[in-house]
Homo-oligomer: A and B are copies of this chain.
């Protein structure tokens, strides 16, 4: 532990400088205009892995953005940890709400502000630096493989293909991911589940062109109004989702499981104050912790129709569109939920409009085991670094690839995240505490140490 702290202290500024370089790349995978930047990011990650001591580093081409692979095999007889992360980021919109530009990282109040600071550049880069530390201090206790992708924010479709095709190269005993949150530095926690995702887009068409709202208003269905009515009908009075069959496969938690989850520290007033809302909203009969961690949801991620510029335009629009996503819990299936949504949405469309539903991407929900050697190693590492036993929590976000690792590689995942829920992931002013960044670099070598030791003892 002492040599870990010393190495971090000796390289503090350089670690941060390198992360800042990484954060300056606008690696937005969703928007084709950033293509060259996303590719440059992959090259930067590969270079840094090599510098840190990884071998066989390769920027592996895919049908989309490349996957950066690297490894250090010190002894084939020792266990192997596969570290997964992603170098792509969410779009920075709405730009005008950023206090400082999203791709010009700065530190304010001990926090790094930049798109990707927490999700996931700041977090996967802790692994690169922890790896360097173990190499430089001669303390790497097991084999390690890195797989850092560039399409996590758009559904990881090509990673799925890559994993299926590269089973030998990716062979490992456990997957280790830092792309989730902990409660706080005072309340360290480990996520033991992730929600799945079905993301789609709907288009409602009324008249075949935009119309004058005076000449035609009142006689022709307005697709914006109809889409509003259709969206409004997707939740009932208890804020439950009305799509027939939607809850059929939902794994209801036992009373004991619910009790355990609700032991996590949660202050409703602080939660509301942080978000600037007077009241919370959610499915009746569940707590906030349950709603975000164990219940499926349906959200409008975007909606647009008609004239949205300055001033006024008296138009009756031809089309109305929405991006809608559903978070899924075990044992819902992304593809099945898409079909249920599509069938329902087409059914509720009134005769005066046409609807088109297009899938974007999806991912399956996962629950990670809490009785595995890897999870125990993570618990011990966090406890030693933070001085407190971590609380198990359920994460509301999705990392679509986790369930695929299990299916394709037959291995489980440990989610050892160091972000905070309040880090503005996917929002303006995304941030990551500098303290959490260093604490992560400190915890990761301990994970490897305990994992190797427990595997040996097993």
Contacts and interface: CB of A to CB of B under 8 A. Distances in A.
Stoichiometry, as copies per complex, reads 2
A240 to B, nearest CB: 11
Given A211-B275, A280-B219, A427-B210, A315 B303 contact: no
A344 interface: no
Nearest to A239: B218
Contact of A155 (B312, B321, B425): B312
Contact of A181 (B154, B215, B291, B314): B215
A232 B230 CA distance: 8
A353 B282 CA distance: 13
A300 B222 contact: yes
A425 B4 CA distance: 71
Given A94-B210, A155-B312, A307-B91, A215 B397 contact: yes
Contacts of A207: 275-277
Contact of A224 (B31, B216, B275, B303): B303
A313 B301 CA distance: 7
Given A91-B309, A280-B220, A297-B218, A211 B315 contact: no
B278 A352 contact: yes
A213 B315 contact: no
Given A208-B276, A279-B352, A327 B32 contact: no
Nearest to A287: B219
A321 B295 CA distance: 28
A1 interface: no
A361 B312 CA distance: 8
Contact of A199 (B30, B181, B301, B314): B314
A327 B279 contact: no
Interface string A255-289: 00000000000000000000111111111000010
Contacts of A291: 218-219
Contacts of A154: 311-312
Contact of A304 (B93, B195, B281, B303): B303
Contacts of A327: 213-214, 217-218
Contacts of A209: 97, 275-276, 424, 427-429
Contact of A316 (B280, B301, B311, B312): B301
Contacts of A276: 207-209
A446 to B, nearest CB: 26
B426 A213 contact: yes
B301 A314 contact: yes
Nearest to A213: B299
A314 B201 CA distance: 12
A292 interface: yes
Nearest to A316: B299
A288 B312 CA distance: 25
B351 A279 contact: yes
A455 interface: no
A261 to B, nearest CB: 14
A389 interface: no
A273 B125 CA distance: 59
Most chain B beta-carbon contacts within 10 A, residue among A229, A321, A350, A360: A229
B306 A302 contact: yes
A457 to B, nearest CB: 36
10 closest cross-chain pairs (CB), A and B = A208-B276, A214-B397, A30-B311, A221-B281, A218-B297, A302-B306, A232-B232, A224-B300, A228-B231, A228-B228
Given A29-B311, A215-B395, A216-B421, 9 more contacts: A90-B313, A91-B311, A93-B307, A153-B313, A216-B396, A222-B300, A224-B302, A224-B303, A225-B232
26 contacts: A32-B310, A90-B313, A154-B311, A199-B314, A209-B276, A211-B427, A215-B425, A216-B421, A217-B292, A217-B297, A217-B327, A219-B292, A220-B277, A220-B282, A229-B232, A229-B235, A232-B232, A232-B233, A277-B353, A279-B351, A280-B352, A300-B305, A302-B306, A302-B308, A303-B304, A308-B321
